Amino acid sequence: MKAVVIGGGVFGSLIARELTKYDLEVTLIEKNLDVGWGVTKANSAIVHAGYDDPPESVRAQFCASGNAMYEDLSKELDFDFKRIGSFVVAFNDEELKELERLLKQGEENGVPGLTILERDEVLSMEPNLNPEVKYALYAPTAGITEPWMVAIAAVENAVQNGLKLVLGESVVGFEKVNGRVRKIHTSKGEYEADIVINCAGLHADEIAKLAGAEYVPLHPRKGEYILLDKKLQGLVKRVIFPTPTKVSKGILVLPTVDGGILLGPTAEDLPEEMKDRPITTREGLEKVREFTKKLVPSLDFSLVVKTFSGLRPESPQKDFFIKVSETVKNFVNVMATRSPGLTAAPAVAKYVVEELIQEKMRIPLEKKKDFKPERKRIVHYSELPLEEWRREIERDPRAGRLVCFCNEVTEKEIVEAIRRGARTLDGIKFRTRAMFGRCQGGFCMARILKILERELGVDMSEIRMKSENSWVVNGKVRE
C-alpha cells in the first residue's frame, strides 16, 4: 500500500509522520527545495486557544484539540513551544461586548481557563500595555512556536520511520484507473499511489483540479510583519490581540520563542495570480506601526531587525476544506487551511489517517511495532553550561567555532543541519537560526557558503539561497 502526500508544510509534514506509524510506503512530495517554506514559513507562529472560531465550523472542530496536543508533540519532536497565554484587549464598553461574545464562544468550543480581566489586573500582568486599556479576555492555553520547525521536525522523524522525501518536484498530472489515482506525475518523475493526500497550501485547489477532485477556490490573503530586536525581550510576555474585526484577528504584538518581538499581520486579500508574491509595502508596514503603537506605546522602531510578509490561503467559506473526494475515491483534500491552521494541524493529521482513510475510505491500516516517536533537535552549544560546552569542544573543535555571532551558532551546528538535509542557505537558517539575527546574514553568510561548499562537495555557484533561481554567486568560483 502506497500513500503519497503532496505538500511539505505543517499539515503535509504532520500527516506524513502520522502515516509512517503504519505499515505503508509513504512519500512526501514538496515543490520547494525544503519543507516548511510555503504558507508555514511566514505567519504569526501562534498556537491559538480556540475562542475565535464559530462553534459550527470545521476550524472549531480542530483548534482547541490541536492546541492540547502541542505539549506532547513538542516533547516528542523536540521543538520549541511555550504556552504563554494571550490577551484580547478592549478599550471601551462596546469592545467589552465582543470579549463577552468570544468568551461564550470559546466555552462552547471547549477552551479551558478563559476569563475577562479588568484594567488593574491586565496592567499588573502586562505593564507595557497602553494604560487606557479597560478589559482583556485572558486565554492561558495560547502559545507560540516556530512553524517551520514543526514541519522540519515532523519530517525528520518521519524519515527515521521510512518516509521517502522528494524535494524540488512539482506535481504536474495524475493517471487514474476506475476513478482512482494510480500514478502521480511530477516535473522530474512519477510515483505510484493507492492513497493521495493533497496538502498543497495555496495551490491545493490547482492540485485538486488536476486530479479531477472537488475543491474550493483559494486566493492569497497577505499579512505584513515587522520583527524587532531581542533587546526588547520581555516588553510583552503574552500574545496581545486587539479586539477582532470581521476581516481578521487584528494586528498583534507578541514575543517570539527566541526572544524577539513580532508585530503584525495586516490582512489584504489578493487576486489568485499573486499566490507566489509575498511582497511588503510602505503602506502595509506603516499600518503595522500605527496599530501596534496603540497596543504598546513604548515600541521602539529603531530596533527593527527585518520586515516580511506571508500569504495564507483564504476561501469563500472562510473555513477548512478537509474531505475525501466523491469523484476520486482515493484522494483526500486538506485545503483552505487558513488561521488557525498551525494550531489545528496535529489534530487534523490524526483525523485524516484515523477517520478519513481508515473509516471513510475503509482502508485498514496496521500499526508498526517499531515506530520511533522521538526526534532530537540540533544541539545549540552556546546554551549548554560552560563546562559541558568545553568538553564538547575538546571532542570536536567545530563546536567552539562561532559562525553566526548574532545567535551564537557554531560550525558544528551548521554541519549537522547539512547532515540532516539542508542544501541551501535558507535550509541552514531555518534549522539553526544562523542568519536570523541582527545582521540577517551580513556577517556570517559568506562563511556558511564556504561550509556548504565544503560539506556538499560542490562549487559555491551551485548553492542557492532558497529556490533554483535564487543564486548567490554568479559563475564558478573555482575551475
Residue 425 has a pLDDT of 98
Residue 248 has a pLDDT of 72
Q: What is the mean pLDDT of residues 276-300?
A: 97
Helix (H) or strand (E) holding 334: strand 331-335
Q: How confident is the model at residue 394 (pLDDT cuts 50, 70, 90)?
A: very high
Residue 246 has a pLDDT of 74
Residue 224 has pLDDT above 90, yes or no: yes
Helix (H) or strand (E) holding 138: strand 135-139
Q: How confident is the model at residue 245 (pLDDT cuts 50, 70, 90)?
A: confident
| Residue type (1 letter), 326 | E
Q: What is the mean pLDDT of residues 300-309?
A: 97
- Percent of all residues in the chain with a pLDDT value above 70, rounded to a whole number: 99
Q: What is the mean pLDDT of residues 279-304?
A: 97
CA 388, distance to chain mean position in Å, is: 32
Q: pLDDT, tens digit, for every residue of 435-478?
A: 999 999 999 999 999 999 999 999 999 999 999 999 998 877 66
Hey, do 1-80+144-218+315-377 and 381-462 end up sharing a CATH topology, with the first three levels equal? no
Q: What is the mean pLDDT of residues 65-83?
A: 98
- Give the span between the Cα atoms of 348 and 350, in whole angstroms: 5
Selected from 3.40.30.10, 3.30.9.10, 3.40.50.1950, 2.40.160.10, the CATH number assigned to the domain covering 81-143+222-310 reads 3.30.9.10
Residue 247 has pLDDT above 90, yes or no: no
Q: What is the mean pLDDT of residues 21-36?
A: 98
Q: Work out the mean pLDDT of the chain and round it to a whole number.
A: 97
Q: What is the mean pLDDT of residues 315-332?
A: 97
CB-based burial, 95-125: b 16+ in 10 Å, e otherwise: bbeebeebbebbeebebeebebbebeebbeb
Q: Where are the domains of the chain?
A: 1-80+144-218+315-377, 81-143+222-310, 381-462
- Give the span between the Cα atoms of 49 and 63, in whole angstroms: 7
Q: Domain spanning 1-80+144-218+315-377: which CATH class is it, in words? A: alpha beta
CA 222, distance to chain mean position in Å, is: 15
Residue 477 has a pLDDT of 66
* CATH fold of the domain at 381-462: Arc Repressor Mutant, subunit A (1.10.10)
Is 270 exposed, middle or buried, given 0-12, 13-18 or 19+ CB atoms closer than 10 A? middle
Among 111, 121, 122, smallest CA distance to 64 is for 111
- State yes or no: is 48 an active-site residue: yes
Residue 305 has a pLDDT of 96
Residue 340 has a pLDDT of 97
- Give the span between the Cα atoms of 85 and 65, in whole angstroms: 16
Taking CA atoms, 155 is separated from 15, 145, 165, 203, 377, in Å, by 10, 17, 8, 20, 12
| Residue type (1 letter), 464 | R
Residue 34 has pLDDT above 80, yes or no: yes
What is the CB neighbour count within 10 angstroms for residue 279?
12
Residues 6+ apart with CB under 8 A from 403: 409, 410, 411, 414, 434, 444, 447, 448, 451
Dihedral sign (CA 53, 59, 64, 70): negative
Q: pLDDT, tens digit, for every residue of 409-438?
A: 999 999 999 999 999 999 999 999 999 999
DSSP 8-state class, residue 443: T
Among 6, 23, 15, 129, smallest CA distance to 371 is for 23
Residue 479 has a pLDDT of 55
Residue 476 has a pLDDT of 76
Lowest mean pLDDT among 131-140, 176-185, 242-251, 289-298: 242-251
- Give the span between the Cα atoms of 81 and 204, in whole angstroms: 28
Largest CA distance in the chain: 71
Residue 474 has a pLDDT of 82
Among 332, 321, 331, 345, smallest CA distance to 15 is for 345
- Percent of all residues in the chain with a pLDDT value above 90, rounded to a whole number: 96
Taking CA atoms, 119 is separated from 99, 124, 125, 135, 475, in Å, by 14, 9, 10, 5, 61
